[in-house]
Amino acid sequence: MKKMALFGGAFDPIHSGHLAMAQRLAETLSLDSVLLMPSFVPPHKIRESMADGAHRLEMCRLAIEGQPLLQVSDMELRRGGASFTIDTLEELHRLYPDTEWYLITGADVFCTLRTWHRFADVARLAVLCTVARCGTDTAALTDYAARLQADGYRCYVDTQPVQTVSSTEIRVRAAAGKPLGGLVPSCVEAYIKQYGLYQHAAAMLTQTKDEQYTEIIRARLGDSRFQHSLCVAQEARRLAQKYGADADKAYTAGLLHDIMKDTPPQAQLQILQEFAILLDGVEKTNPTLWHARTGAAFLQHILGVDDAEILDAVRYHTTGRVGMSLLEKVLFVADFTSADRTYNDVDVMRRLADESLEAAMEYGVVYTIHDLLNRGVAIHPDTVMVYNELVLSGQQEGIQHEK
């Protein structure tokens, strides 16, 4: 049986680190060939500084010249639309029936494999492989692999590190007109120069965290959900300024709050499992509630967001809870009053949001509970409790006013 590996990625551009990984695994696993496959990037997800598919493909072709074990495939570029790795693996299995497949990913991506669309099928169709990188944490990698193996998945980690190369650094150097000094093969360097690729990349050096998060949610969300997130971020900042919450945190929380909203339930279940998050009874029955839990976990463990207030604001943005912080309330209300919202009572809600956060919250919670009752859907206990809290404190105020 032949042994082949799929090595997918943006390859923006392909560099010496990619090539070293491919060669290393080809040798240690005695592969017959490694297929480099540049990914299609949908138009609304393209960064300004990104090279288009034809260029990324051509650079891969140039880079593998004279290397018989490496091949390039334009399968995903030709397919168009964002491809899931599982679709590609299934097609490869059809095209090359008597082949044992390996899947090569970078070390950082390897540690997110369980969150991939139809991960169990991916792992069934390919042995999951990666190579450690100089200066990164090999223990984390081997731990992750050990847990995959304990669950019966086939994987392979080459712990002898290869050179760490950053595509970002290459793009930034290209933008500054600096030599790429061996980070890419010389033919690729000449190609980048010839076509003037990455001319806008210098801006990325000064990219703020929020700009990076914006790129991340742009890549993870459909267009309307992405627009919604931008609108909630702006609205959360405005409300934070009005009510004295931290406006920067509010903006960031708004950007990130729905980061998992377009992730299929199956993939969200994997995240829940991965980070040992237990759902309560109502959550179990209602997948629309999961994105708040998986979102907070993804932010904390994968994006490295360490601000507990932001994490809680995301975690409770759908159900609410008793004793919400100012930031939690701001995000909760902003999700109702953002510029993209068009439901019937949205102007009532916006007017209330300008009078009092609590009044707006109460209106929003009542609106949601009505909707859930109409649809015969269970109401999360946190939503019931925050409703009671809001109603009771409203009455308290009423009593004090009368006195």
For ligand DGI, the binding residues (CB under 6 A) are 258, 261, 286, 288-289, 317-319, 335, 368, 372, 377, 379-380, 383
Give me the torsion for CA of 11, 14, 18, 22, rounded to 10°. 90
**Nearer Cβ to ligand DGI (196/323):** 323
**Nearer Cβ to ligand DGI (303/379):** 379
Asked if 239 and 250 touch (Cβ cutoff 8 Å), the reply is yes
From the list Fe ion, ligand DGI, none, pick the one residue 319 interacts with, judged by a Cβ distance below 5 to 8 Å according to partner type.
Answer: ligand DGI
The residue whose two tokens read 């409790």 is: 385
At its nearest, how many Å lie between Fe ion and the CB of residue 293? 11
At its nearest, how many Å lie between ligand DGI and the CB of residue 352? 17
CA distance 312 to 292: 9
**Nearer Cβ to ligand DGI (85/383):** 383
Token code pair at residue 367: 């609106």
**Nearer Cβ to ligand DGI (120/272):** 272
**Nearer Cβ to ligand DGI (202/372):** 372
Asked if 238 and 354 touch (Cβ cutoff 8 Å), the reply is no
At its nearest, how many Å lie between ligand DGI and the CB of residue 365? 7
**Nearer Cβ to Fe ion (106/287):** 287
Token code pair at residue 2: 């032949």
Q: Which of 30, 32, 100, 101 is nearest to 69 (CA)?
A: 32
At its nearest, how many Å lie between Fe ion and the CB of residue 257? 6
At its nearest, how many Å lie between ligand DGI and the CB of residue 177? 44
Contact positions with Fe ion (CB under 5 A) in 326-355: 335
- When asked if residue 235 is in the footprint of Fe ion (CB under 5 A), the reply is no
Residue type, 353: A
List of residues 6+ apart from 242 with CB closer than 8 A: 354
From the list ligand DGI, Fe ion, none, pick the one residue 188 interacts with, judged by a Cβ distance below 5 to 8 Å according to partner type.
Answer: none
Q: Choose the binding region for Fe ion from 235-243, 250-258, 342-350, 356-364 (rule: CB under 5 A).
A: 250-258
At its nearest, how many Å lie between ligand DGI and the CB of residue 262? 10
At its nearest, how many Å lie between ligand DGI and the CB of residue 271? 16
* Rg over CA atoms, the chain: 24
**Nearer Cβ to Fe ion (144/336):** 336
Q: Which of 235, 230, 302 is nearest to 263 (CA)?
A: 302
List of residues 6+ apart from 347 with CB closer than 8 A: none
CA distance 296 to 299: 5
DSSP state of 3: E
Asked if 15 and 186 touch (Cβ cutoff 8 Å), the reply is no
- When asked if residue 12 is in the footprint of Fe ion (CB under 5 A), the reply is no
- When asked if residue 258 is in the footprint of Fe ion (CB under 5 A), the reply is yes
Token code pair at residue 111: 């540690």
**Nearer Cβ to ligand DGI (142/224):** 224
At its nearest, how many Å lie between Fe ion and the CB of residue 297? 14
**Nearer Cβ to ligand DGI (252/383):** 383
Long-range residue pairs from 83-86, CB within 8 A, at least 24 positions apart, any chain: 83/39, 83/40, 84/116, 84/117, 84/118, 85/6, 85/8, 85/116, 85/117, 85/122, 86/116, 86/117, 86/118, 86/121, 86/122, 86/125
From the list ligand DGI, Fe ion, none, pick the one residue 312 interacts with, judged by a Cβ distance below 5 to 8 Å according to partner type.
Answer: none
The residue whose two tokens read 């030599």 is: 179
At its nearest, how many Å lie between ligand DGI and the CB of residue 78? 34
Q: Choose the binding region for Fe ion from 38-46, 106-114, 214-222, 258-266 (rule: CB under 5 A).
A: 258-266
* Residue number of the CB atom closest to ligand DGI: 380
From the list ligand DGI, Fe ion, none, pick the one residue 289 interacts with, judged by a Cβ distance below 5 to 8 Å according to partner type.
Answer: ligand DGI
Binding site for Fe ion (CB under 5 A): 258, 335
